[in-house]
Amino acid sequence: MIRPFQGMAPKLGSRNFIADNALVLGDVELGDDSSIWFNCVVRGDVNYVRIGARTNIQDMSCIHVTNGKWPTLIGDEVSIAHNVMLHGCSLHNGVLVGMSTTIMDGAVIGEGCLVAAGSLVREGFQAPPHTLVAGWPAMVKKDLSEDQQQLVASIWSRYVRYKEAYFQDGWPMAEAPVLTEPRPGFNAGHPYP
Ligand SMILES: CC(C)(COP(=O)(O)OP(=O)(O)OC[C@H]1O[C@@H](n2cnc3c(N)ncnc32)[C@H](O)[C@@H]1OP(=O)(O)O)[C@@H](O)C(=O)NCCC(=O)NCCS
């Protein structure tokens, strides 16, 4: 489901896959070749969400924002594994967030980081680029090993292939709703609810 909210409709790139039981709502933008998988929620109703190109949001993940304070910003070639909670945080390009991780308001994850599965990243946490961040609560553990860097780089490209395989299998490309009177988004002055 791709739905407008208060005159703000999601803006999509080219060749996006959005599973039919995912919800993408409101002030959300998605780059080319990105995908949002089954049962995800991406809710741009009280602030905005930006997702770059060739990024995948895997099944059961939830992306939300904090009213008037924290949008959620996700770069290019990012992988969000299954059952991840992202709330009001920023992820630079090339990040992998492992399964069942939570990242909270104001946290910033640097380029190419791996946030290990099952981690809890606290509010305002800053992760330097290309590091392994892990634990409950998460800490910076070390620079990524070569194997870990390969893992991070392999998943986003695999998911670009996966969504193309779904298109070949007859699943539809995502289409954004067209509004007759669209309103500008939160970062262009839309009042916070
Ligand atoms: C990080 C990961 C790759 C393990 O790598 P690894 O090479 O075995 O880990 P390392 O040996 O480098 O661990 C370094 C430190 O991080 C800790 N650590 C590693 N994975 C951890 C995890 N998931 N949770 C908590 N701590 C973790 C280790 O205990 C170690 O801590 P220490 O230095 O205090 O002893 C793995 O745990 C992970 O999260 N994989 C991602 C899986 C995933 O979600 N894939 C996406 C599917 S689509």
What's the average model confidence in pLDDT over 56-64? 98
Task: Indicate if ligand 1 lies below 6 Å from the C-beta of 61.
Answer: no
pLDDT tens figures, 139-162: 999 999 999 999 999 999 999 999
Sheet holding 56-57, edge to edge: 17-18, 35-36, 56-57, 79-80, 96-97, 114-115, 131-135, 138-143
Q: What is the pLDDT of residue 191?
A: 93
pLDDT tens figures, 109-125: 999 999 999 999 999 99
Q: What is the pLDDT of residue 51?
A: 98
Looking from the CA of 124 toward its CB, the CA atoms found within 13 Å total 1
Instruction: Name the residue of 132, 133, 149, 161 whose CB sits within 8 Å of the most ligand 1 atoms, as the mutation to test its pocket.
Output: 132
Q: What is the pLDDT of residue 118?
A: 98
Domains, in order of start, for the chain: 2-172 (2.160.10.10)
Q: What is the pLDDT of residue 151?
A: 97
Closest-CA residue, ligand 1 atom 5, reads: 148
Mean residue pLDDT across the chain = 97
Give the position, in ligand 1's atom list, of the atom nearest the Cα of 148: 3
Task: Indicate if ligand 1 lies below 6 Å from the C-beta of 115.
Answer: no
Distance 116 CA to ligand 1 centre (A): 5
